[in-house]
Amino acid sequence: MKRSRRVKILATLGPASSSEEMIAQLHDAGADLFRINMSHASQDLMRELVSRVRAVEKRAGHPIGLLADLQGPKLRVGKFADGKVSLEIGQTFTLDDDDTPGDETRVHLPHPEILEAVQPGHRLLIDDGRLQLAATASDGRSITCKVVSGTVISDRKGVSLPDTTLGVGALTDKDRSDLDAVLKEDIDWVALSFIQRPEDLAEVRKIARGRVALLSKVEKPQAVERIDEIIELSDAVMVARGDLGVEMPLESVPGIQKQITRKARRAGKPVVVATQMLESMIAAPVPTRAEVSDVATAVFEGADAIMLSAESAAGDYPVEAVKTMSQIASRVERDPTYPGIINAQRAEPQATGADAISAAARQIAETLELSAVVCYTASGTTGLRASRERPSVPIIALSPVVATARRLSLAWGLHCVVTDSEPSDLDDMVDRACRIAFAEKFAKPGDRIIITAGVPLGTPGATNMLRIAYIGSDGLSGI
């Protein structure tokens, strides 16, 4: 399915969008990939959703990416004798390892890793920051705090720790079980929550062994501080603005979004901007003007993908939300200021054959006003480097590997096509490229395309060839 935009749309599946019919409607409306949130989906439901998405993919005849988002650690306080208590600003309140119900002076914190890690001066944000505590003393079994803001705390509210690096990894026992289940299905990406440091990716890499690509969700200050290392070890990153806005000053989040987006593009790694993009469309058929501007900003910034969460998962208008996001993105990409902004952010190519070829292909395609850049990519590397260049002409990524084509559906500007097999020789490669560019309506007879590939054919990561070809009257290469 040919899209009229380059940025991709990642839609979350949920109660409002779990049927095969609704998934098909979301795809037709503009969703390029789907997210399964393992915080809410059981493993059985996950398997059913995978089956439904793959059925839609088969009917569409176009690769559709699937992302499983692992829950990660859920840090919560215990329960209170009366369900909730009222506090006063300035009073002392304690979190400890005593599992008896809490009162106005204390509550159980069933996380020894927090009790051991928090130091005096560290902040503890309860219930998405509605209650802020400042630690004044800690002995490994209890944390004595002063109430800084907020006056109510109730059962099982979440705890955020913007100043504390915990010694635990990003995977819980539930995550390990979910990951084992995910790896048995046709899922292309796994999103990791609670990333604090690059080492948090190591365990997942070891378990996955390349069977899925890894997306790191940047939602903690500790991850922002080490973002360059995290990007290097990830296959993609997500700017999870909701959690970032809890643990960091709200006014800092837009700047962080821009920094991460640009760093990821320089590294050639897809970047997703997520959370509350069209939040009002959970209950309304149209967004606010501020939400339209927010989506547009992410597109102007060159994000690879923009994500819908509750809007498509549990909202009253999931199809309308996808259509609206697609319309905003398409309009932004037609704006006369868009090419200048995108080009201004272009990074210099790295000293590799793939980057040199990709940069040359973009420049030639734009100078000669070619119809498309066609890249053969088995591993996905060539496609990602072509996407990094953000050319003004369409990019068609041809791959004989279904998993590669699905993963690349997250990357900016890539129209992914699964080929039957590797080309037998260079002439076959050129004919296939011309035929597919014609069939997918990116070129017509008399147009020219530019083709990138690696010779010998089928050698991963060996992009070293450029070829300009004419589209003949029969859709094959002309003279």
**Residues forming the active site:** 35, 76, 217, 275
Do residues 210 and 223 lie in contact, with contact meaning Cβ atoms separated by under 8 Å? no
Select from 217, 463, 251 the least CA-distant residue to 353.
463
Whether 179 and 207 have beta carbons less than 8 Å apart is answered as yes
Peptide bond into 101 cis (omega under 30): no
Three-class secondary structure of residue 230 per DSSP = helix
Which strands sit side by side in the sheet containing 395-399, from one edge to the other?
A: 414-418, 395-399, 372-376, 448-454, 463-470
Name residue 196's amino acid: Q
| Residue (of 389, 439, 449, 385) closest to 417 by Cα position | 439
**Contacts made by residues 21-24, CB under 8 angstroms, sequence distance 24+:** 22/318, 22/319, 23/49, 23/52, 23/53, 23/56, 24/56, 24/59, 24/60
**Helix 381-388 and helix 353-367: axis angle, to 10°?**
50
Give the dihedral sign, CA 328/333/338/344. Answer: positive
For residues 364 and 468, what is the distance between their CA atoms, to the nearest angstrom? 9
Residues whose CB is less than 8 angstroms from the CB of residue 75 and which lie 6 or more positions away in sequence, other chains included: 111, 114, 158, 159, 160, 161
Burial (CB count <10 Å: 0-12, 13-18, 19+), residue 196: buried
User: Tokens for 138?
Assistant: 């800690």
Max distance between CA atoms of the chain, in angstroms, equals 84
Alpha helix segments (H runs only) across 212-252: 221-225, 227-233, 241-247
In sequence order, the 6+-apart residues with CB closer than 8 A to the CB of 1 are 27, 28, 60, 62
- Cα separation, 275 vs 35, in Å, equals 13
* SS3 call for 195: coil
Question: What's the first-to-final CA gap in the chain, in angstroms?
Answer: 29
Please give the Cα distance from 309 to 292 (Å, whole number).
16
Cα distance between residue 294 and residue 304, in whole Å: 15
Cα–Cα dist 183/462, whole Å: 28
